[in-house]
Amino acid sequence: MASSLEHAVLLEQVQRRLTIFYEALSARSVSLVPLSEEERSSPPPDTRSTVRLPAEQESADWYKLAVGHRAIHYESGTYKFKFLSPARHFSSLRPDSLKGIPVYDGDSQLDWFFRLFANRALALDLFNVLEDFRIDEWAARKYKGLAGLCSRIQSRELDIRPDVSDMAPRQALAEVIVRLSLNGRLLRFDAPAFLRDSVSIAVGIFDSLGTAGATVEDAAEATIRIYHLLVAMPNVAVPGIEKVPIALSESRSHDAGVRWPTEWPEPDPVHLEGDVVLEVRFEPVSYREQMGFWLRNYEASAPPELQSIFTFRDMPARSKILLDPDPMAMQDDEFEQDLQSPPKPLPHDHGHEEEDREHAAGEIHTHDPDVFIYPEWDYQKNAYLKNWCALREQSIAGGSEDRLYSDTLRRNSTLIPRILKVVESIAPENLRKVYRMPFGDDIDIDACIDAVIDLSAGVKVSDNVYSARERVARDVAVAFLLDLSASTAESVAGSSDPKEESRRIIDVEKESMMLMLAVTTKVGDAVAIYGFSGTGRDDVQFFCLKEFKDRFSAEVVQRIGALKPVHTTRMAPAIRHAVRKLVRQECQTKMLMIISDGRPFDIDYGIDYGEEFILDYAVQDTRKALDEARANGVVPFLLTVDEEGNDYLREMCSDMGYEIISDITQLPLRIVSLYRELRAG
Amino acid sequence: MSRIEAKQTPIEEYRVANEPFYLPIANEVESFEAAYHNHIPVLLKGPTGCGKTRFVEYMSWRLGIQSHDMALPLVTINCHEDLTASDLVGRFLLSNSSTEWVDGPLTRAVRYGGICYLDEVVEARKDTTVVIHSLTDYRRFLPIDKLGTIIDAHEEFLLVVSYNPGYQSSLKDLKHSTRQRFAAIEFGYPPLEIEASIIAHEAGVTLDLADSLAVLAAKLRNLNTLEMLEGPNTRLLIYAGKLIRHGLDARDAIEMAITQAITDDAQLQGGVREVAEAIFVG
């Protein structure tokens, strides 16, 4: 069991660092995704933007090598293979033209290359092993810091390789190839004498392939040669034959005395019974990727779009083919673009085409102008679920609690001076001293001296001799998003003041908003206040307490006063909606402050994956919504009173700001000072 | 205790004493020469620390050697937002009970000849930069309104300005009326081999070490768009090289001169260290 590993390292611990590492080496973006327990035995292949790795490993070095190895494929040109380019260390056995080789649109030149072989799966697996070897050697030469850990991990891999001695000759040669690719030259084993020549030639080929300057074309030439050696071997054991000792230390020049194939594409071999069953298997090496896994289905008449996802070629045009049996999910690579920017959630089109549109199962559609449809991020599928959440904008009828504002001010009478001090410290930031002004509130000494000099010199004197404070054109819009989930009805526990006993979390939230209104009005920033809750994805409730355009009025105070705890915390659609409103503000600085009392949760959040995933699912969706906010130029900040918040907040807010307030009674003051800090940026 | 007097030179007489080390990347040297001989002012654009200032020094030396056996005078003015036109052109100063006119650095360069280099020109206020307009077209003169005079530029006067298009916000861009008075040469980070030679020369380290530093920089610059991290410039690489040559452990030198210098984000620093440790034995 992976979890029993001592000193185990979790992918999440190194994820961000290694993402940056990968990006630096390959100049490509990537997301490192942990494999689930079920996927571990047969991991899905990497795609162009996603690398899947075990969630837990014995060392951080393993992760570094696995990630580095994948990135270096790009750096050292695996995918830039040129069919007609010569190799550096091998004479060319490839044909010098594409004559007779089927060529399709959207092919990479590697596709052409594999079409040379009758047994494409074997050629592809072999190419993987040889190219992986070249990559490791290349990496060890170029990255001295990887060389050590590469050889350490290789020798660990060698320790767990299967035993060669009982294998049929072809399988034995295949295993020898993998061991050679791990620099395992120490092996000695007994095998039929005819294997000895092939092994020593293979060793010679590895010698050349490991030399500095070897290119992907060298790996291709090596593939042709070793493929030829492999298919010449019987793939069943030869009973009764005499065995001789073979050592991997002996090498032979690869082009001397061997008749390499010259006919391309290779003619289909005569199929012997059992050939297919006894297919050669290259037992995988843990840190290397299974690039060619899907190419085994190469012959299948899959549409080219589907094939190209799993093959090396660049996507031609994007086409909308759903690959997953689930019609909602988009396979990540195909829609890389779509994933970078979420499906346009925004306003609902009521055109005629829409009327008749069939909605795929699960998608939500509405004609209600107060309802907004948002996507949701499914971290298990690594894709957005389109039209997944319905958010209803609701206004609150103001209650009679119009005394809230004055009550708040009275209750916080001890706080007010401190808050005012904070407010005052905000105000000057709005102003900047400017010099050489025609009027102003102070004299500009430098300008005065110049004027006096000019006067004595008898030249034109400038009368711009004042300094002034000028309002800097740096305006701020801030939206507050209040969690109105049922748990906000809990009383403010742990307070030493008995008077506080009866107060609930929501009351403190209300008070904080009152104070913020007072502050922001004074400073002159645009402010909006929203609340959210809900009862499932088709019922996300979004309360507009104060829109940006609303003036600070008794009605706003009444609305805030009338807030009541509702139900659950589906935070992500509310964030998306608030961001949508913020984006419309023509302000330089846009901030979103989310005030919450617990982790995001909803009754049907990620329900398809079972209960153990619900919490993670919610966290990941929220995290994605926060990422979108930042992508839209909004600075989000999450403030929570959930003391157990650390574990999920770190994940959810990654590198954006969040804070846990242990004493809820401190919330109002903390909000104000945070606001000031954020504002100062 | 004896005091060592610092060397003082009037600004317009400053010349580069020895040939500055400069490795051409493309044909910038020839382009600059052609501009100089045709009195075409030059705009150098490119990220900070990629060699613009060094290039100007080198060109002042090269052009001067061709005609006078010594470098052309080089007047460098670092622009900032409080720089006024008087700071460039000159002003009256009080002297006893009368006043005395003192030329500003630009005026001195115009009279004396040589290269006048306005570094980071967009930092200067727009009303300041307009004083160079008449210098940068066919007129080639500098009006001094307080004196009521016009000074024709010296035959060997050339105005060069630099600017970093990515760094300043779009609010601070050159006015078109200013910008289109200059022929422009773009500077980028040098290619790997050249950058390695530069580091080896400037920091006095082996080419092998310099090469590793250049590789590190090239990798980190891949993060410019992916992570919005401005990768290290050549100057920082030279610092790292110098620290290593001084005896600092490579890891510590890179931490100081590169990792900490380019970002404050702990996560990014972690990633940068991973790359550094892969390139230098960790």
- CB < 8 Å to B170, chain A: none
Is A262 touching B (CB cutoff 8 A)?
no
How far is residue B153 from each of residues B128, B136, B158, measured CA to CA in Å?
A: 19, 10, 9
pLDDT tens readout for residues A69-78? 999 998 998 8
Residue A427: pLDDT band (50, 70, 90) is low
pLDDT at A334 over 70: no
Residue A666: pLDDT band (50, 70, 90) is confident
Residue B191: pLDDT band (50, 70, 90) is very high
| Token pair recorded at residue A579 | 């961001």
Q: Calculate mean pLDDT across residues A577-595.
A: 86
Query: Nearest Cα to B120, choosing from B63, B162, B153, B182?
Result: B162
Cβ–Cβ < 8 Å for A598, A629: no
Distance from CA of B61 to the nearest CA of A (A): 37
The answer to whether the Cβ–Cβ distance between B267 and A16 falls below 8 Å is yes
pLDDT tens readout for residues A114-149? 888 888 888 888 999 999 999 999 999 999 899 999
For A404-424+474-680, CATH number?
3.40.50.410
Is A413 touching B (CB cutoff 8 A)?
no
| pLDDT above 70: percentage of residues in chain A | 76
pLDDT tens readout for residues A41-61? 777 777 767 788 888 888 899
- 3-state DSSP assignment of residue A200: helix
Domain ranges in chain A are 76-310, 404-424+474-680, 431-471
Those of residues 604-663 in A touching chain B at CB distance below 8 A are 654-655
The answer to whether the Cβ–Cβ distance between B146 and A148 falls below 8 Å is no
Give residue B2's pLDDT.
62
* C-alpha A565 chain-centroid distance: 34
Give residue B246's pLDDT.
96
CA A452 to CA A457: how far, in whole Å?
Answer: 9
Please state the ipTM of this predicted complex: 0.84
Q: Calculate mean pLDDT across residues A142-161.
A: 92
pLDDT at B101 over 50: yes
The answer to whether the Cβ–Cβ distance between B146 and A450 falls below 8 Å is no
**Most confident among A445-454, A569-578, A624-633, B33-42 (mean pLDDT):** B33-42
| pLDDT above 90: percentage of residues in chain A | 16
Q: Where are the beta strands (DSSP E) in chain B?
A: 42-45, 74-78, 90-95, 98-103, 114-119, 141-144, 149-152, 157-163, 183-186
Give residue A561's pLDDT.
80
Give residue A2's pLDDT.
42
Residue of A nearest to B225 (CA): A27
Q: List all residues 6 or more positions away from B28 whose beta carbon is below 8 Å from its beta carbon.
A: B55, B185, B187
* C-alpha B142 chain-centroid distance: 23
Average per-residue pLDDT for chain B: 89
- CB < 8 Å to A454, chain B: 92, 146
The answer to whether the Cβ–Cβ distance between A457 and B92 falls below 8 Å is yes
pLDDT tens readout for residues A339-383? 444 444 434 433 333 333 344 457 777 777 788 888 888 887 777
Residue A412: pLDDT band (50, 70, 90) is low
pLDDT tens readout for residues A258-297? 788 888 888 776 555 544 545 788 888 888 887 643 343 3
Q: Calculate mean pLDDT across residues A631-651.
A: 78
- 3-state DSSP assignment of residue B266: helix
Between A57-66, A456-465, B150-159, the lowest mean confidence (pLDDT) is in: A456-465
The answer to whether the Cβ–Cβ distance between B278 and A457 falls below 8 Å is no
- CB < 8 Å to B82, chain A: 435
- CB < 8 Å to A457, chain B: 92, 99, 101, 146
Is A472 touching B (CB cutoff 8 A)?
no
- 3-state DSSP assignment of residue B144: strand
The answer to whether the Cβ–Cβ distance between A25 and B222 falls below 8 Å is yes
Is A64 touching B (CB cutoff 8 A)?
yes
CA A610 to CA A38: how far, in whole Å?
Answer: 14
The answer to whether the Cβ–Cβ distance between A460 and B145 falls below 8 Å is yes
Give residue A1's pLDDT.
40
Mutate to test the interface with A, among B81, B94, B222 (most CBs of A within 10 A): B222
| Token pair recorded at residue A591 | 């901030």
